[in-house]
Structure 1
Amino acid sequence: MPPQPTPTPTRRRRGVAATEFAVCLPMLMLLLLGMLECCTMIFLKQSLAVAAYEGAHTALAPGATDADVQAACTGILNDRRVVGGAAQILPGPLSSLSEGDYVQVQVTAPTDANAILPARFFRGRVLQSTATMMKEL
């Protein structure tokens, strides 16, 4: 029986590289998917902040109504494709506020409805953002 040829160093290196790739690929994919999900949630949080600011800014206009504030917030959320967003005016209806009172607009959205990946790292949370401004004139 003839002797078996010994593997060359090049063959061994290819095997080691393939093994290292097989071990590292799941970790790299998890890292990539985690970064995508984090960036999506950062965009969602920023969208809520912009909507809250625009809602509070709308509330300061003379003759503004609660419906105007809701429309401003909803418009921003729709433009940014935020699903399930809701705006709330605190402490109450704009008609009850007088000059010098603070208007607070709080905008919330669930993370589950706005995630782009099926494996959600932010499962079951609700993000919110609030803008507070003083009513003048």
Structure 2
Amino acid sequence: MIEFAVCLPVFLLITMGTIETCRMIYLRQSLKIAAYECARLAVVPGITPADLQDQCDVILLGRNIKNYALNCTPSDPSSLDYGEMFVSTVDAPASENALLSTWIYGSASVSESVSIMIEY
């Protein structure tokens, strides 16, 4: 019983740390996928900023990511010419997307961005 009482908190700490680390990896990957899909969509003719936001919503709401923000440079992809770069950035607060404890991350934010060149 003594060994169990001593080892259980250590095993729980390792387990909770692993779960939280995996959640942050999941968050980063989800943001990267959303940024990529928005950048890929931005090169299609006739796409509006609302279409990009809808694409981001579909991906991130489906993955249960909270309080994210999509930022595009330039904000309207239809203004780009051949050879110009489009950058989509997706940000989300780490503490609001953590599974276990929000005090670990404080006010930290996770951000992912993708750049793509207009080809036509």
Q: Same fold (TM over 0.5)?
A: yes
SS of residue in 1 equivalent to 2:20: helix
1:39 pairs, out of 10, 22, 44, with: 22
SS of residue in 1 equivalent to 2:17: helix
**Deviation at residue 65 of structure 1 after TM alignment:** 1.4
Match of 2:71 in 1: 88
Once the two structures are superposed, what CA deviation does each residue of 1:41-79 show, in whole Å capped at 9, x if it has no partner? Answer: 111111001000000011010111111111111211111
Alpha-carbon contact 1:34-1:121 (below 8 Å) kept: no
Once the two structures are superposed, what CA deviation does each residue of 1:21-55 show, in whole Å capped at 9, x if it has no partner? Answer: 21121111111111111111111111001000000
Alpha-carbon contact 1:101-1:134 (below 8 Å) kept: yes
User: How is 1:1-137 mapped onto 2 (pairs within 5 angstroms)?
Assistant: 18-118=1-101, 120-137=103-120
Cα RMSD after superposing both structures = 1.4
Unaligned stretches of 5+ residues in structure 1: 1-17
Q: Which has the larger radius of gyration?
A: 1
Alignment TM-score, normalising by the size of structure 1: 0.81
Once the two structures are superposed, what CA deviation does each residue of 1:68-110 show, in whole Å capped at 9, x if it has no partner? Answer: 1111112111111100011110144323321110111000111
Change (3 A) 1:74 1:99: same
**Deviation at residue 120 of structure 1 after TM alignment:** 4.6
Separation in structure 2 between the aligned mates of residue 72 and residue 119 of structure 1, nearest angstrom: 28
SS of residue in 1 equivalent to 2:65: coil
Separation in structure 2 between the aligned mates of residue 28 and residue 120 of structure 1, nearest angstrom: 21
SS of residue in 1 equivalent to 2:111: strand
Letter in 1 for 2:114: A
Alpha-carbon contact 2:38-2:88 (below 8 Å) kept: yes
Give the number of equivalent residue pairs. Answer: 120
- How many percent identity over aligned positions? 39
Unaligned stretches of 5+ residues in structure 2: none
Separation in structure 2 between the aligned mates of residue 76 and residue 120 of structure 1, nearest angstrom: 27
